Amino acid sequence: MTKDTIIAVYTVKKDGRDIKKFAQAIAIGQTTGTWNELSGNLRLQISGHIAEVISIEESEFTSAIRIAFPIENFGSDLGALLTAIYGKISLAPKIKLEDIEFSQKYLNLFKGPRLGIGGLRELIDKKNKPLLMSIFKPCLGLTPGELGSMFYSQAEAGFDLVKDDEILYDSDFNVTLKRLEECLKAKEKARSKTIYAINLTGEANEILKRAIELEKNGANCILFNYVSYGLPLLSALRKTVSISIMAHPAFSGAMCMSSNSGLSEKLLLGSLPRIAGADFVLFPSPYGSLAWDKDITKDIQNKLTQSLLNIKPSWPVPSAGVKSSMVKEIVLDFGEDIVINAGTAVWEHKDGGLHGAKEFIKEVENLRIKETIKS
C-alpha cells in the first residue's frame, strides 16, 4: 500500500463476529465489492483501488480496526469520502467510525480555515484572552431593525462576535440582506470591530450565490449549519468566499451520540469541519444545558487545534447554556484560544442585554491567563 491513502479507524462492539473476516469484508465491500472471484487481469486493473486492513487491536468489549483507503477512490469530495469509508457499512450493527488519519497528500487537497485562530485575532486586534460571542435571543419574528438594535448593545458592550441563532431562516433573501445592513450600521455606530456571523440558508443551488451576495454586501462571517446541509457545501463555501465561516453542529447528535454507530464527536465536530474550512466550530460545553463529557469536548478541541501540517487551527466554541459564572472554569479547561458563546444568559439579565453582556466582559477582563490555565 502506498502513502496515497487515508486510514479509517473503526470501533466494533464484540458480538461473536470473526473480527478478521469482518475487517476484510469492510476493505473489500467498501472498495471493489469482490476480489476472490476475479481473474488475474481484472485484479491487476483494479488492485490500486482496494483497501487494506492495517491493524486490529482487541480489548475486552471492542475491537479497533484500521483500514487504509486509496485517495483515488474519493479525492477531495468529503461526501464521497464518507460514502467510501463508512457508506453501506454504517448500516451494519455495532460499528462506529472513530477517526480518520490523514496523509500529507490528502491534506494538500484542502484549504482548511481561511483565517484560523491567529488570523481572527489579527482581524479584531485582540492578541490574547478568549473571544466573547453573543447570540440573538430571541430571533424569530423580529424585524431586521430590532435585531440591529440588539447587535448594537453587544457591540457597544465590547463583544468580539455576534451570531444569528441557527434557526433563523428567511424565506425572502432580501430580509437577510436587510438584517446584514442593519447590523453593519449598528457596528459602525458602536465604532467596534465586532464580527457578525450571519446565518446562511437556502436551497442547495442557492447557497453559494447567496454567500457571494452576502460578502459583496459587507458580511465578514457566515454561520452555516454544515451537518444539516452537508460537508461538501461547507468545503465549497470555503472555496467560494473570502470571509470566515462559523460551523454550527445542529443535527449532529443524530450522527454521533450513539456508542454503537455513527461518527465520533471528535471527527464530526473536529477534524472534518476543520479541513473543510471552518474558522469556528461550535460544540456542547461540559457545563451548560447540553453538557457533554469533558473528555469528549477536549478531544474535539484537540482535533480543531492540534498541528495538522498545512491546515490552520479552528476556533473551538464550547456552547449551550454558558453563564458568566462559568467563564473562569471554561478557560481553566480550554485555555484562551476559544470563543465563549453566551446566549440566553445575556438576554435574560434583569437589566437587559447590554448589562448581560457586560457581566461576561467583566469576567474575561478579570482573567489572569497565565495563572488561570491548567498545565
| Helix extents (H) in the chain | 19-29, 40-46, 78-86, 104-107, 116-124, 144-157, 173-190, 204-216, 226-229, 231-240, 253-256, 265-266, 272-276, 294-305, 327-334, 344-347, 353-365, 369-372
Q: Given 20, 88, 189, 209, which residue is catalytic?
A: 88
| Count of other CB atoms within 10 angstroms of residue 307 | 6
Which of the following CATH numbers is that of domain 116-372: 3.30.365.10, 3.20.20.110, 2.60.40.1190, 1.10.645.10?
3.20.20.110
Q: State pLDDT tens for residues 159-192.
A: 999 999 999 999 999 999 999 999 999 999 999 9
Domain positions in the chain are 5-107, 116-372
Q: State pLDDT tens for residues 228-287.
A: 999 999 999 999 999 999 999 999 999 999 999 999 999 999 999 999 999 999 999 998
Query: Mean per-residue pLDDT for 319-324?
Result: 86
Q: Reply yes or no on whether the pLDDT at 1 is more than 70.
A: no
Predicted local distance difference test score (pLDDT) of residue 365: 86
The mean pLDDT value of the chain amounts to 92
Confidence grade of residue 41 (pLDDT, cut at 50, 70, 90): low
- 1 contacts 68 by C-beta, under 8 angstroms: yes
Predicted local distance difference test score (pLDDT) of residue 31: 85
Which of the following CATH numbers is that of domain 5-107: 3.30.70.150, 3.90.180.10, 2.30.30.240, 3.40.50.10470?
3.30.70.150
Q: Reply yes or no on whether the pLDDT at 43 is more than 80.
A: no
Residue 88 annotated as catalytic: yes
Q: Reply yes or no on whether the pLDDT at 375 is more than 50.
A: no
Report percent pLDDT > 90 for the chain. 79
